Amino acid sequence: MAGTIYRKPMTFAVAALVAVLVGSVATMAYPMLRADMHPKVEGLKPLSPLELAGRDIYQREGCMGCHTQMVRPLRSEVVRYGGMRSPEPAGRYSIAGEFAYDHPFLWGSKRTGPDLAFEGWLKPAAWHAAHFKNPQAVVPRSNMPAYAFLEGRLLDGAEMQAHMRALRVVGVPYTDEDIAKAPAALLGKTEMDGLVAYVISLGKAVDRGARAVVEARLDLQNPVAGNAGAVAKGKALYADNCAACHGDAAEGTPEVAPSLVDDIFLEVKGDMPDAAYFTLVKGGSDAKKALGRPGFKEGGMPAFSGQLSDEEIWSIIAWLRERKAHPGGK
Amino acid sequence: MNDYRYDHRTVQGFILSAIFWGVVGILVGLLISVQLWYPAANFPPYLTYGRLRPVHTNGLAFGLGVGAIFGLSFWMVMRLAKRPLLFPRLARVQLWLFNVGIAAAAVSLLAGYTQSNEYAELEWPLDIAIVVLWVMFAVNILGTILKRHEEQMYVSLWYIVATVVAVAVLYIVNNLAIPAGPMKSYHVFAGVNSANVQWWYGHNAVGFVFTTPILAMFYYFLPKATGLPIYSHRLSIVAFWSLVFAYLWTGAHHLVYSPLPDWLQTLGIVFTLFLIAPSWGSVVNGYYTVGQDWSKMRSNYLTKFFVLGITFYGLQTVQGPTQALRVVSQLIHFTDWVPGHVHMGTMGWVAMIVTASVYYVIPKIYGVQIHSERIANVHFWLVLVGQLLFSLTMWITGVRQGFMWKATDQDGKLVYQNFMDSLVGNYPFWQLRTLAGVVFTVGMLFFVYNVLMTIRKGRAFEAGRATPVGPAAASAA
């Protein structure tokens, strides 16, 4: 190896370049030519102008410095982020095809706060708006900065049109019509609206909801009503699954989720039977129609079938019933 | 000596600029470390953790790191080519552009202009300025080497040339983006492909900013400072070529368990493991070099910087490949373990070698002695203790949090369903980390003081010497 290369700088530089390029071509350039680097899930839609504005804000504020957007195929992770509700095994974790329009990817590298890849299936818009405004009011001891200032800033339709045109150049299929309609869609919308819309769009390209249609059967009785063990279990399950929105004491969070211990249920005075609670927890807001009461206009209650067993849901209801000062309605 | 005088001012200008941006970057680091356990220290919209973190990473990687690399590479190239820079004025313009660029970069990041790719956050107008800067650097480095007065190129020159070539390729490819406004663009690559290109870049930014140029300094300044020749020339050849060849294959180890195709992940992991060999080639070479006379650890205050620096490099290059293993990655990836790892490399390896090299160069510029070896020793111990405390707290809390995320009971249910359970456990460790950062910062301030006092001493010495001779010394430009 005592070659003359160490006396010929230009030859040396070329040799170094070649050494560097071999691995670059093999692991960076060549894979681009393969189909497995460009998958796309069926029916994948580009972000709406409002969601795209939100994504730009997500980038601007450096959200990816603390939040990942990638659920790994590890059991504990799939369970934590609600992936088990997906009817297809592959939908339980993040898959390549759902990121086909992400320029760039925003998977992040540090999970100071929770992963957001499936956020669209986890919490409603109202929760996010309240949380962005003042995170500690919703999640005590959280270390997230407050983003209340986003509320006072209006989105610019012309700017978003330019962003959509640039994305079209790199392959996101926005049509002329999409771009023409953007300013109207953004009229009067704030940066807060955009960021919330983006966050609740995450993970929606793949079905990760509870597919099972929940039938409202108001004749069901709570099999564990009054059982002390079930009440204790229900309390713990409530803390893990419900408290984030409905509050630690189930007394609700203003503008996010209603109290569960007062006498108003789905916006109407007067309690309902345990079976109605059961239907709502299992089927989410979609199931409320069967109960004949309006509820929050935007809904937002996720379906917990697939995540909680029937027995666990009944336990939570048993605990809630313990906390109420009045008997169940009819 | 007069031929070099102008160039030496440029070198010193880069060193002082690097120190300035280094102090800024370290203070921002302290602030964001506080923000993690005391959210009221965020001041939206400009001074939130999300906007400040890239200021910290870019300020230190490009302000301190690249600034020092520019200055010290010019110094090494002049010595090893036995001639002044080929384009001295170009280097001076590069110095000014560098400072304007870093200042503009910091302001733009605070304003929220970012591409969101780690270590490639800067938006497209700044990317163009950085490419111009790099071309200026490359022209001077390659030009001076071409017109050298010493036939053989020493190891350090190989590493400098490899840095020049590799950074150019990496930076240009990963920053390919379509502008969507004056300070907004979108990566041309999408999804998994975007991730793959970014981490090919991201890992090699570590390789060709925090490794190869620092190795160039190690191979040059260690023998210079100690008077001991490098132990094995052959080993340095083998280590060099295998390092620059293997590094580029390893980016996918940042994407283990991601949607990236498995074959790419495995390929990245395998090459990452292989990378232990060339890394340790330089570690062994360093140890055997000092091993020729261990008494230098006592008699020469700089030796310990190099020995500890290469030790942390050695630890870093075993820990990194360990992290790439799937079974380890699933536990520690996304946790604070990783910042612990990164900071051992930057605070342990890079900071040790760069500060020792600066201690060597500044007195040489003026022909004086360092202001105080005692202060340098205090600096050494504070930086060492601060870095160890930093990394250890981060490793502990990273493993702690990783296990809490994974913990399931016999029914497969999460033991810590609420994410906050694992997060609040970080707070005491993050507070300790801030304390570690303060210790490290104080150490670095001792370094800054020592350098500034040495320059002051050098100027006084020069003034005393120049007076009888007259203005001749100023004509070198």
Q: How far apart are CA A253 and CA A135, in angstroms?
A: 12
Is the pLDDT at A173 greater than 60? The verdict is yes
Residue B42 DSSP label: -
Q: How far apart are CA A87 and CA A92, in angstroms?
A: 8
Q: Which of B19, B46, B10 is nearest to B445 (CA)?
A: B19
Answer yes or no: do A287 and A316 share one domain.
yes
- The letter for the amino acid at A302 is P
* B204, B243 contact by CB (below 8 A): no
Contact B360, B369 (CB under 8 A): no
Query: In chain B, whose CA is at the least distance from the CA of A94?
Result: B259
- Domain identity same for A67 and A191: yes
CA–CA dist B238, B101 (Å, integer): 37
Which amino acid belongs to residue A317?
I
**Is there a contact between A62 and B51 if contact means CB atoms under 8 Å apart?**
yes
Count the alpha carbons within 13 Å of A289 in the hemisphere toward its beta carbon. Answer: 5
Question: What is the model's pTM?
Answer: 0.92
Contact in structure between B320 and B341 (CB atoms under 8 Å): yes
Angle between helices B67-81 and B2-37 (to 10 degrees): 150
What's chain B's average pLDDT? Answer: 96
The length of chain A is 330
Residue A328 in domain? no
Q: Which domain holds residue A162?
A: 49-199
Residue A68 maps to a domain: yes
For residues A165 and A240, membership in a common domain is answered with no
Structural domain count of chain A: 3
Torsion angle in degrees (nearest 10) through CA of A196, A197, A203, A209: 90
CATH superfamily of B1-188: Cytochrome c oxidase-like, subunit I domain (1.20.210.10)
Residue A39 placed within a domain: no
> In sequence order, which residues have a C-beta less than 8 Å from that of residue A156 and are 6 or more positions away?
A186
Residues B178, A94: C-beta atoms closer than 8 Å: no
Distance from CA of A23 to the nearest CA of B (A): 5
Task: Count other C-beta atoms under 10 Å from residue A25's C-beta.
Answer: 12
How many residues belong to chain B? 477
- From CA B389, how far away is CA B435, in angstroms rounded? 9
Give the Cα separation of B426 and B74 in Å (integer).
Answer: 43
Dist. CA B233–CA B239, nearest whole Å: 10
- C-alpha distance from B62 to closest chain A C-alpha (Å): 19
**Which of A72, A101, A141 is facing B257, going by the closest CB pair?**
A72
Interacting residues of B74 by C-beta distance below 8 A, sequence separation 6+? B7, B10, B11, B14, B85, B91, B140, B141
Q: Which of A13, A56, A108 sits opposite B165 (nearest CB)?
A: A13
In angstroms, what is the C-alpha Rg of chain B?
23
How far does B311 lie from chain A, in Å, by closest CA?
26
Ramachandran class of B257: left when φ > 0, alpha when ψ lies in -120 to 50, beta otherwise:
left
The three-state secondary structure class of B194 is helix
CA distance A52 to A40: 19
What is this model's ipTM? 0.95
Helix (H, G, I), strand (E, B) or coil at B295: coil
For A48, half-sphere exposure in the C-beta direction (CA atoms, 13 angstrom radius) is 18
Q: Which residues of A touch B152 (CB under 8 A)?
A: 6-7
Query: Could you give the CA distance from residue B101 to residue B432 in angstroms, rounded to a whole number?
Result: 34
Vertex A124 angle, CA A120 and A126, to 5° = 135
Instruction: Using DSSP, state whether A167 is helix, strand or coil.
Output: helix
CB contact under 8 A, B113 and A60: yes
CA distance B156 to B236: 10
Query: Which of B420, B422, B434 best probes binding to A when mutated, by most A CB atoms within 10 angstroms?
Result: B420
For B77, other C-beta atoms within 10 Å of its C-beta total 27
* Cα–Cα distance measured from residue A182 to residue B189, given in angstroms and rounded to the nearest whole number: 24
Count the helix, strand and coil residues of chain A and give each as a percent rounded to the nearest 5.
50, 5, 45
Would you state the structure tokens that stand for residue B280, as one six-digit string?
A: 């340790």
Which residues on chain B are in Cβ contact (under 8 Å) with A147?
A: 44
Mean pLDDT of A188-198: 98
The shortest C-alpha distance from B122 to chain A (Å) reads 12
CA distance B375 to chain A (A): 37
Looking at the structure, tell me whether residues A103 and A181 fall in a common domain.
Answer: yes
Q: Does B274 touch chain A (CB under 8 A)?
A: no
- Decide if A223 is inside a domain: no
Q: What angle do CA A274, A277, A280 make, to 5 degrees?
A: 150
Per-residue tokens: A242: 């419900």
The residue extents of the domains of chain B are: 1-188
CATH (domain of A110): 1.10.760.10
Q: Which residue of B has its CA nearest to A7?
A: B152
Across the interface, whether the CB atoms of A24 and B267 are under 8 A apart is answered: no
> Is A13 in the same domain as A113?
no
Going from the C-alpha of A197 to that of each of A128, A129, A241, the distances in angstroms are 9, 10, 23
Q: Measure CA A20 to chain center.
A: 40
In terms of Cα–Cα distance, which of B55, B10, B11 is closest to B32? Answer: B55
Residues A17, A101 within the same domain: no
Same domain, A55 and A195: yes
Cβ-defined contact of A23 to B113 (cutoff 8 Å): no
Q: What is the pLDDT of residues B300-317, one digit of tens each?
A: 999 999 999 999 999 999
Examine residue A217 and state whether it is found in any structural domain, yes or no: no
Query: Does residue B254 belong to the interface with chain A, where contact is any CB pair within 8 Å?
Result: yes
Burial class of residue B307 (count of CB atoms within 10 Å of its CB; 0-12, 13-18, 19+): buried
Q: Do A53 and A29 share a structural domain? A: no
The 10 Å Cβ neighbour count of residue A220 is 15
- Using the beta-carbon criterion (under 8 Å), do B184 and A99 form an inter-chain contact? no
Q: Cβ–Cβ of A19/B244 closer than 8 Å?
A: yes
Token digits of residue A103: 């320029």
Contact A103 B264 (CB under 8 A): no
Nearest to A49 by CA among A169, A201, A170: A201
CB contact under 8 Å between B142 and A148, yes or no, is no
- CB–CB of B191 and A171 under 8 A? no
Question: In whole angstroms, how far apart are CA A31 and each of A103, B196, B203, B258?
Answer: 17, 9, 17, 16
Using 50 as the pLDDT threshold, list the residues of chain B that sit under it.
Answer: 1-2, 469-477
SS3 state at B44: coil
**Can you read off the two tokens belonging to residue B74?**
């010019």
A271 and A311 together in one domain: yes
Cross-strand bridge partners of residue A253: A257
Q: Please, are residues B447 and B376 in contact by the beta-carbon 8 Å criterion?
A: yes
- Cα–Cα dist A206/A121, whole Å: 10
Where does a domain end: A145, A179, A199? Answer: A199
Shortest Cα distance, chain B CAs vs residue A111, angstroms: 5
Substitution target in A11, A22, A27 with the highest count of B β-carbons within 10 Å is A27
* CB-based contact A9 B249, cutoff 8 Å: no
Q: How far is CA B269 from CA A95, B256, B391, B461, in A?
A: 21, 9, 23, 54
Percentage, residues of chain A above pLDDT 70? 96
What CA–CA distances, in Å, run from A140 to A137, A144, B3, B424?
6, 10, 65, 10
Q: Flag whether A85 is in a domain.
A: yes
For residue B300, how far is the Cα from the chain centroid? 25
Q: At A110, phi and psi to the nearest 5?
A: -140, 130
Q: Token pair of A271, please? A: 């309690």
- Taking CB atoms and an 8 Å cutoff, what residues of chain A touch B194? 99, 102-105
Q: Give the chain A residue nearest B234 (alpha carbons).
A: A1
A237 falls within a domain? yes
Is residue A247 domain-shared with residue A293, that is, in the same domain?
Answer: yes
- Inform me whether the C-beta atom of residue B428 falls under 8 Å from chain A C-beta atoms: no
- What DSSP letter does each residue of A170-225 carry, written as one string? TT----HHHHHHHHHHHTT-BHHHHHHHHHTTTTTTS--S--SPPP--TT---TTT
pLDDT of A325 above 70: no
Give first-to-last CA distance, chain B, whole Å.
Answer: 12
Q: Which residue of B has its CA nearest to A22?
A: B245
The crossing angle, in degrees rounded to 10, of helices A228-241 and A310-323 is 100
Angle in degrees, CA A36, A22, B169, rounded to 5: 90
Residue numbers in A near B153 (CB within 8 A): 6-7, 9, 12
Facing residue for B112 by CB, picked from A60, A142, A147: A60
**Residues A106 and A157 placed together within one structural domain of the fold:** yes
A308 → chain B, closest CA residue: B413
**How far is CA B104 from each of CA B12, B32, B63, B90, B101, rounded to the nearest angstrom?**
22, 20, 11, 21, 5
pLDDT 10s digits, A37-47: 999 999 999 99
What's the gap in Å between the CA of A50 and the closest CA on chain B? 17
CB A116 within 8 A of CB A109: no
Partners of residue A77 in chain B, C-beta under 8 Å: 405
Q: Which residues of B touch A62 (CB under 8 A)?
A: 48-51, 53-54, 112, 114, 116
My answer on whether A286 and A160 are in the same domain is no
